[in-house]
């Protein structure tokens, strides 16, 4: 968990509002686990001030990829960076997804919505390397919002796509698609990342079916390394409920740990 | 060799750069990034007597060149701090300052009472200025009398120097400063965050669940420089400047105006190496300008004299 | 068709967007850029009774997301304003508001006296809050009594509605607001600039020759939103929000909190079309959100109720 | 004096710290006089906030050039813009240099230091088109600081260069060079732009020799079009001294008008 102030952008792809960057960082590449993230310094001026958290989307020997959607000023400025530009990043941060070896030979589901797909590619590859049979559920508003579908296909993952408007795949939310499919098979674990509403629904029917599930939570992060206490979520651990820093203890938590609250956006 | 050391009277610092409370955790979190021994001092996260749950999220919202926070002083309490954190912190050769909080005057005193028994603390920083979002931002530092009352109570029980951290949300900060001095404060730190609000125009809700938060970061620097200027000419005790310091240049503005040290806050979140870079920048500035001792630039602002 | 009109009681505005004093010249300077008839109102540059020379330069320094100015109210005085400027301004169908200044209470009254004879002014905005750099930023709006005194004096001689412009450099702005209301203010505008300093670390001089200036721009918005929030719940008269508005979204934050109109300042310098763009942005927001009348969103902030 | 929110950068050149951009703006090109300037919006974010003033360096039928030195954040960000990028500019602003037809057949001097050379190229070309015989005095700290010397030479201007360190041309300040040369000839007018100290000196010996002189002043500008009263300088007009807005009444003033003050930086 330290700093790379000289991470070079070595590749850049884009689809509409979505961007994929490869960043040269042998150190992070060698340490990273699926579900961990990095904090990127967007500008060296007083505005925008804070770093932005982005999941590690995949890794190579000497580089990591990030995949992000332009959601505001920070990601907009980031999207304008070019191959060759240098980024100042912290990482790998957080604890990431669990499981792995224990899932050998088992069916598992990785369900992501929109930009939430980002950490699931890294996860899916890792799970498969441990022998798990990974089914990807990938949802978006429209065909444009599932730009990684080809990538998953090329890697021969079992891919289930949905779009809200039916422009590609199942018409409707990915949660509905998943629910339908879960009548046909029962995975040993569900991993998910995406809008909170989506994850909440998945948590509900995973609980009903007694399927262990893990979720990658989002929050505005002041630091990403546990010192500002800004990123807390309601978490139950060892029977005790409290505000827990997701940058340190998460961002991934299991169904049982997360206390889904109404106030959350 | 440039001498960056600073004498605050009750304590000598290696250099005028102190990490500010709430933005540096309990200090140890920064050990992977920087050599903590290089710092002038560390103010640990605000401590109440008992552990505190803090506010519900979202706790942060970015503003223009600033950050609004409503963390609500979530923390471990004095007991856990003394048992688990202080023993590790003590090993570093930098001034450890504890940011002391309280719901009532008595709680401040009891935190100090408790900690007085522990080794390895250089001073207390009395946080009488945290905009308490429950009470619409009210805090003792808004009023000279409430300031006097809590400072004098704490001074009675404290065996250590007491730095009083003031609030910017006042008409006349020098008046509060004088009141703290009269009550026995050994130094003043200016300032805590500015009471602020952000609105989400889509949901029409305040972004922070309890409406208010505290603004920090570069946005506030020109206002805090003004407050330090207003205070240094009125008090005899040393003043520590806090607000929007990202670079050595920012720190130098404070020192030239008359702050004897500065605290670096939000910058730590953005760049965990910020404090050390600022210290290096001070050395560079001194070398470039032929300054042997940084003490010699404190309060050297060339004030205009009777311009038209 | 979205209805953007706003009733301030004493005057109805086409829309809640008013150009703020000192950032819009005497209004006419913007005619090459925008159709002045589109604005809710124009507050002209601060007027003292006599012409004023203003401060020596530099008068401006940029800060983080903000601007510090020490223009010192250089201006033409009431006579030239009435004779040369007002006749041209009168032709536009927008509310013309004169920003009234004075060294003493009596000067405010004499400006109003003089202007009362002239046609085509909708209201006065009493500038009792300009941080006077000569007097270390002191101004009537720092104190409830001095506020009461000048407002009641002016109200006696004025035949027109009086908007009182408050200072942010106070502990309890609601207290000053109540005092202005009691003295007969027809509305309040919040706020003038924040007292600020910048230092040139190379020369070790203050950047502005008289040390102080006033901070405006996006940096101050979160603080002013807080002040508007604190005031609207306490007063009965309409509140106009001023501070850091660059976009329709910024203006909407103020309206949702409870300001009945807003003034746009520094944004005019950066983009002379800013006011008109903000008006268009309000229409767009209303249409997108099915709002027929912008009046209906004023003060609709959904306040949290008893969260933990 | 209005706005071009869509001025495209159509050409870009650079020498170390100095940049030359061509901006597509037929309107400004058709209206501009030498000594006038434009205000450029550097960013659409809250920081840096203000536009930056830059002189019109030359003009073509449909475009104008600007020539600038990176001096801080604003010019740094501007220097990073690319050909094809769109700038939001106001102009032409101010009143510019005087003289013209009346200088037909006369010797005139245009003396610029560092970035101060910017408006003098446009001026020199205009003066020559009116029949004046223009001598350019161009000074900089070092060879690197007089990147436009080739350009002036290509246009066959009489060029006198100086560098403080003697790396090119006369060794010393351009004021000293000019002073030396003025012992050999007496121009009908001197035009100058550069650091205030330099212009002050030129004003002094121009006054001694009774040569009319004009100077382009600099100041921090809040708006550039006369509404903020931020840009004032001490100016004497019709016997009366006062703070005058240089964005409106200037930035060019004659020797007699300018009250050089000690306080100025
Ligand atoms: C651990 C973690 C991993 C993430 N990984 C990815 C990823 O791989 N790809 C991706 O596209 N996005 C990811 N995000 C979300 C991403 O961080 C935000 O989209 C980004 O910070 C928004 O910044 P902005 O400046 O573009 O938008 P802003 O202008 O700052 O905000 C736009 C909107 O996003 C909200 N927002 C701001 N900051 C955050 C934040 N840190 N988290 C959530 N919402 C925020 C704001 O409240 C606002 O509604 C991740 C977030 C977290 C916490
Ligand atoms: C009418 C006019 C025409 C100009 N023409 C040119 C030109 O053609 N080429 C060129 O390179 N420069 C020119 N300048 C100067 C140029 O405007 C400044 O260099 C620029 O604004 C600095 O902005 P910055 O953000 O890069 O630096 P900042 O970080 O803002 O400041 C760097 C330094 O420059 C000073 N400064 C800031 N703004 C100005 C300003 N407006 N004028 C003078 N000093 C300032 C600051 O006080 C500081 O010392 C001109 C200035 C004026 C007033
Ligand atoms: C996330 C956060 C938490 C803070 N917590 C504390 C605290 O516990 N005690 C305290 O006295 N100040 C606290 N502060 C205020 C800072 O110590 C500092 O006074 C303020 O942020 C201004 O400095 P800056 O602009 O450098 O950040 C906190 C600030 C931030 C941003
Ligand atoms: C250059 C400048 C001049 C100003 N002159 C006046 C003035 O004459 N009278 C006044 O009441 N306020 C004056 N103000 C304050 C503005 O009207 C406004 O209250 C302040 O700038 C905050 O709004 P903003 O952040 O939108 O700029 C001036 C502000 C600036 C930047
Ligand atoms: S983001 Fe700062 S503690 Fe988690
Ligand atoms: S720059 Fe605003 S008046 Fe000249």
- How would you write the pLDDT of chain B (308 residues) with one tens digit per residue? 899 999 999 999 999 999 999 999 999 999 999 999 999 999 999 999 998 888 899 999 999 999 999 998 888 899 999 999 999 999 999 999 999 999 889 999 999 999 999 999 999 999 999 876 667 778 999 999 999 999 999 999 899 999 999 999 999 999 999 999 999 999 999 999 999 999 999 999 999 999 999 999 999 999 999 999 999 999 999 999 999 999 999 999 999 999 999 999 999 999 999 999 999 999 999 999 999 999 999 999 998 765 43
The residue to mutate among D51, D52, D225, having the most atoms of ligand 6 within 8 angstroms of its beta carbon, is D225
Cβ <8 Å between C33 and D219: no
Q: Is residue B191, in this structure, part of any structural domain at all?
A: yes
User: Is the confidence at residue C199, as pLDDT, over 60?
Assistant: yes
Q: Which of D90, D66, D100, D104 is nearest to D214 (CA)?
A: D100
User: Is the confidence at residue A221, as pLDDT, over 80?
Assistant: yes
* Angle, vertex CA C296, rays to CA C293 and CA C297, nearest 5: 115
Distance set, CA C135 to CA A86, B111, C188 (Å): 49, 42, 24
* Mean pLDDT on C240-248: 98
Please state the three-class secondary structure of D171-199 as a single string: ECCHHHHHHHHCCCCCCCEEEEECCHHHH
Q: Is the peptide bond before B58 cis (omega within 30 degrees of 0)?
A: yes
Domain count, chain B: 1
Q: What is the pTM of this model?
A: 0.96
Does the C-beta of D53 come closer than 6 Å to ligand 2? yes
Chains touching chain C through at least 3 C-beta pairs below 8 angstroms are A, B, D
Residues in contact with ligand 1 by the CB-under-6-Å rule are: A 37, 48, 52-55, 67-69, 71-75, 115, 118, 218-221, 251; B 62
Cβ contact C209:C55 at 8 Å: yes
Q: Is residue C63, in this structure, part of any structural domain at all?
A: no
* Mean pLDDT on A248-259: 94
Q: Is the peptide bond before C124 cis (omega within 30 degrees of 0)?
A: no
The neighbour count for residue C227, using CB atoms within 10 Å, is: 27
Q: What percentage of residues in chain A have a pLDDT greater than 70?
A: 97
> What is the edge-to-edge ordering of all strands in the sheet holding D18-24?
D52-55, D37-41, D86-93, D2-15, D18-24, D63-69, D58-59
Instruction: Give dist(CA C100, CA C127) in Å, integer.
Output: 6
* Mean pLDDT on A113-141: 94
Q: Which of D17, D21, B104, D15 is nearest to D7 (CA)?
A: D21
pLDDT at B306: 55
Q: Catalytic positions of C, please?
A: 130
- CB under 8 Å to D131, separation ≥6 — which residues? D101, D103, D104, D105
**CATH architecture, range D98-214:** 3-Layer(aba) Sandwich (3.40)
Chain C contacts in chain B segment 218-237 (CB below 8 A): 218-223, 225-226, 229-230
Q: Which of A229, A235, C222 is nearest to B46 (CA)?
A: A229
Would an 8 Å CB–CB cutoff place B196 in contact with chain C?
Answer: yes
pLDDT at B47: 94
Q: Specify the ligand 4 atom closest to the Cα of C221.
A: 25
- Distance between first and last Cα of chain B: 42
Contact residues, chain C, for D50 at CB < 8 Å: 60, 62, 67, 269-270
Q: Is residue C27, in this structure, part of any structural domain at all?
A: yes
Instruction: Give the closest-approach CA distance of A48 to chain B in angstroms.
Output: 6
Q: pLDDT tens-digit profile of C117-163? A: 999 999 999 999 987 666 777 899 999 999 999 999 999 989 999 99
Q: Is residue B258, in this structure, part of any structural domain at all?
A: yes
Instruction: Give dist(CA A110, CA B210) in Å, integer.
Output: 36
| CATH of residue B244 | 3.20.20.70
What superfamily in CATH does domain A2-93 come from?
A: Translation factors (2.40.30.10)
ipTM of the complex in this document = 0.95
Q: Is residue B307, in this structure, part of any structural domain at all?
A: no
Based on the number of CB atoms within 10 Å of its own CB, is C307 exposed (0-12), middle (13-18) or buried (19 or more)?
A: exposed
Q: Which of C27, C93, C91 is nearest to C268 (CA)?
A: C27
Domain spans in chain D, listed from the N-terminal domain onward: 2-93, 98-214, 217-265
* Mean pLDDT on A94-104: 83
Q: Topology of D217-265 in CATH?
A: Dihydroorotate dehydrogenase B (pyrk subunit); domain 3 (2.10.240)
Q: Is residue B1, in this structure, part of any structural domain at all?
A: no
Q: pLDDT tens-digit profile of A46-85? A: 999 999 999 999 999 999 999 999 999 999 999 999 999 9
Helix, coil or strand: residue B297: helix
Ligand nearest to the CA of A55: 1
Q: Is residue C61, in this structure, part of any structural domain at all?
A: no
User: For residue B13, what are the domain limits?
Assistant: 6-54+72-196+217-297
| Sign of the torsion angle spanned by Cα atoms D19, D23, D28, D30 | positive
């Amino acid at each position: 968990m330290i700093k790379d102030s000289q991470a070079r952008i070595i590749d850049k792809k884009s689809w509409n509002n979505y961007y994929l960057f490869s960043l040269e960082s042998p150190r992070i590449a060698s340490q990273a686990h699926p579900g961990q993230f990095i904090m990127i310094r967007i500008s060296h001026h007083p505005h925008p001030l804070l770093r932005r958290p982005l999941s590690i989307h995949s890794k190579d020997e000497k580089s990591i990829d990030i995949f992000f959607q332009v959601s505001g000023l920070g990601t907009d400025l980031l999207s304008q960076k070019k191959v060759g530009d240098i980024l100042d990043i912290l990482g790998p941060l957080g604890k990431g997804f669990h499981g792995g070896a224990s899932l050998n030979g088992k069916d598992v589901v990785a369900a992501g919505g929109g930009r939430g797909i980002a950490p699931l590619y890294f996860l899916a590859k890792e799970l498969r390397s441990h022998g798990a049979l990974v089914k990807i559920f990938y949802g978006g508003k429209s065909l444009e919002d599932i730009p990684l579908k080809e990538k998953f296909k090329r890697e021969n993952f079992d891919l289930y796509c949905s779009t809200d408007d039916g422009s590609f795949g199942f018409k409707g939310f990915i949660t509905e698609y998943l629910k339908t499919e879960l009548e046909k098979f029962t995975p040993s674990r569900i991993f998910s990342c995406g809008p909170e509403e989506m994850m909440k629904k998945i948590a509900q029917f995973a609980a009903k079916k007694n399927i262990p599930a893990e979720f990658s939570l989002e929050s505005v992060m002041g630091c990403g390394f546990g010192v500002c206490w800004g990123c807390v979520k309601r978490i139950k651990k060892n029977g005790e409920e409290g505000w827990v820093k997701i940058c340190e203890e998460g961002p991934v938590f299991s169904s049982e740990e997360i206390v889904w609250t109404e106030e959350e956006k | 060799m440039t001498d960056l050391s600073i004498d605050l009277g009750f304590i000598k610092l290696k250099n005028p750069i102190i990490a500010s409370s709430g933005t540096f955790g309990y200090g140890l979190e920064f050990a992977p990034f920087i050599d903590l021994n290089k710092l002038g001092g560390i103010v640990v996260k605000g401590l109440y007597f008992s552990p505190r749950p803090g506010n519900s999220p979202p706790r942060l919202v970015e503003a223009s060149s600033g950050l609004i926070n409503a963390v609500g002083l979530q923390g471990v309490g004095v007991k856990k701090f003394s048992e688990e954190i202080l023993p590790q912190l003590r090993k570093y050769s930098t001034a450890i300052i504890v940011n002391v909080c309280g719901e009532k005057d008595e709680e401040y005193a009891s935190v100090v009472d408790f900690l007085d028994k522990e080794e390895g603390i250089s001073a207390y920083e009395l946080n009488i200025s945290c905009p308490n979002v429950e009470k619409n931002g009210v805090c003792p530092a808004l009023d000279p009398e409430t300031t006097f009352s809590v400072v004098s109570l704490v001074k009675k029980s404290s065996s250590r120097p007491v730095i009083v951290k003031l609030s910017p949300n006042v008409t006349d900060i020098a008046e509060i400063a004088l009141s703290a001095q009269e009550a026995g404060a050994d130094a003043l730190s200016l300032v805590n965050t500015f009471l602020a609000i952000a609105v989400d125009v889509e949901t029409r809700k305040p972004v922070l669940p309890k409406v208010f938060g505290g603004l920090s970061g570069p946005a506030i620097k020109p206002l805090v420089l003004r407050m330090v200027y207003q205070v240094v000419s009125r008090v005899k005790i040393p003043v520590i400047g806090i607000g929007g310091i990202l670079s050595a240049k920012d720190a130098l503005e404070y020192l030239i105006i008359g702050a004897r040290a500065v605290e670096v806050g939000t910058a730590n979140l953005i760049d965990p190496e910020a404090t050390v870079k600022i210290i290096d920048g001070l050395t560079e500035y001194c070398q470039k300008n032929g300054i042997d001792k940084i003490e010699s630039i404190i309060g050297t602002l060339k004030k205009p004299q009777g311009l038209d």
